Chain A
Amino acid sequence: MNTPTSTELDAIKSLKQIAREEFILPGTAICGGCGGLEALRLAAKALGPKTVFVNAAGCFTLLAVFPYTPFKGAWLYTTMASAPAGAQGVRDALDVLMARGKISPENNVEVVVVAGDGSTYDMALSATSGAIFRGLDFWYFCYDNESYGNTGMQMSSATPYGARTQTTPATTQTRAGTEHGKKDLFEIWRAHRPAYLATVSPRFPIDLTNKFLKAKHLRGPKLFIAHAPCPTGWLYDPEQTADYARLAVETGVFALKEAVDGVVTHTYVPRRKRPVEDYLQGQGRYRHLFEPVRNEEAIKQIQTQVDRYWENVHETTGAAR
C-alpha cells in the first residue's frame, strides 16, 4: 500500500491523485444514490484516518447503527441542534488533554461536524454561529439535500423555490409548491468571517478534494456546503444522482465557490449555462411545474434568479463583481 493519500499532496489535477483508500466503507443503511454520502466519502479521503465525525440528527445518523460503523475514524452522535457544540467539546477536550500531557499529540484528531440542511439551516444555526464566533478549529460538512430528508422530504429553509415537499404541496392555491426562496447559508456563514468556506459537489471531485486540501492548512472554522442530490426525496432514479449533481452546477443553480477570509471566488464558472429546465425537468419534486400545464411564471422566476446571481460573478476570475 504505497499509494500516497491525498493528505500528503497539495492541489490535485486528476482523479488518479485522489486517495484510493476508503475511509467510509460501504454497506450502510443510507439510500442508494445518496449524493451527500458520495461527497462525504470524497471529503473523508482528503481528511484522512484521524478524524471524529460529530453527527447531528439527520439521514446520516443511520451511518453508524450499533454494532456497526462504516468509519475508520471515530463517531459521536449528538443532537439535531448542537453538533457544533459537540465539536467544541471534543476539540477543547483534546486540546486541554494535550496541553496537560494527558494524551500525546499523535492521538489528536480532526473534528468534523456532519449535519444535514435541516439541522444546519434551521435548528443548529445558532450553535454553529457560536462555534464560528469562537473561532473553533473544526470542519463542518453540511450535506444539503434541500429538505428534511430523513423524515421523508418536508420543507426546510434550504428547500428552493418551486420544489414540492410533503409540507409544501403543489395545489391550486400554492402552485409553486415551496414559495419561499432558499436561505443563503453561504452568505450567513461568510458574515462570520470563518477561516474557510466552500460549496462542493460530489460530481466535481477534484474541486471538492482541492478545497479540503486547501482548508487543511488553515486553523479555525472550515465550513462546507455539499450539494446532495437525493433520489428518495427529489424523486428520480438513483443512477441519475451524478447527472443531477452535474446539471445543478452547469445550469448555474448550484454555484461552486469558496471564501477565504471573506473573499469569494467561484471555482467553476459555467461558460454557457444550460437552461434551468434541464436540471428541473425529470425531478419529481419539480414535476408540477411542467405537468399537467407548464407553470411558465415559476420556471422563469427560477431562471431569472440564477441569471441575476451570475451577473454578479466575473466570468474569468470567478470573483464577485
Chain B
Amino acid sequence: MKNDTNMSEADLDATLVADVKKGDVKAFELLVERYQQRVANVIAKFIRDHHEIQDVAQEVFIKVYRALPNFRGDSSFYTWIYRIAVNTAKNHLVAKGRRIQSVQVEPEEAEVFSTEEDNHGADTPDAVYARGELETVLSEAIASLPDDLRKALVLREIDGLSYEQIATAMNCPIGTVRSRIFRARDAVEKSIQNLQESAKQRTQHVN
C-alpha cells in the first residue's frame, strides 16, 4: 500500500523539476545523478563506443535542461528524458553516417538490470583504469555485505520493489528494511570514499 505522507519518487522528480524551472542548476545536478545511468543504458542500445555513449549522455542532459521549461508533467520525467535520449542517439548515428539498427527499447526494459558482458570500446587508459578500479571496489563491497543487507539492497535497486514489498518478501518490519538498505549503502559508500581519498592523494603526489 502506498504511503501518502512520503514524497514518492515521482513527487521528488516534480519538486526538482520545479526548482530547475526557477533557475536552480544544483537541482538539475541532482536530477542528472538520478537518471544518468539509465540514460546511458538506453544510448548503449544504439551506440557501442563507451566514449560516444558518455558524450551523447551529456548531450541528452543539455537538451533536457533546455527543454525543461516545456515539460508539463503529462508523462513521467523518465519517460520524457527517455524519448530525448532515443532521439539524440539516433541523430548522433545519422550525423556520423551510420545505419540505425532497428532496436526496440521500452522505458521499462531500459530499467531492467542485465548481466550481459560489458562491451568495452575505445576509452582512454586512465578512464578505463579508474572505472575498472571503481567497479572492482563496488563489486567487492557489495559481495562482502551480510546476506540480509545485500538481499534488501538488490530487491530495491534491481527489482525496484518498495520498502513495503521488500518487508513482505523478507518477512520483516518495514523499519528493518529501511535500516538494512541504509546500512548496505553506507557500507559500500565507505569503500567508495576510501577509493576517492586514495585517488585524491595520488593526484597530489603526481602534481
Q: Do A and B come from one complex?
A: no
Residues of B within 8 A of A (CB): none
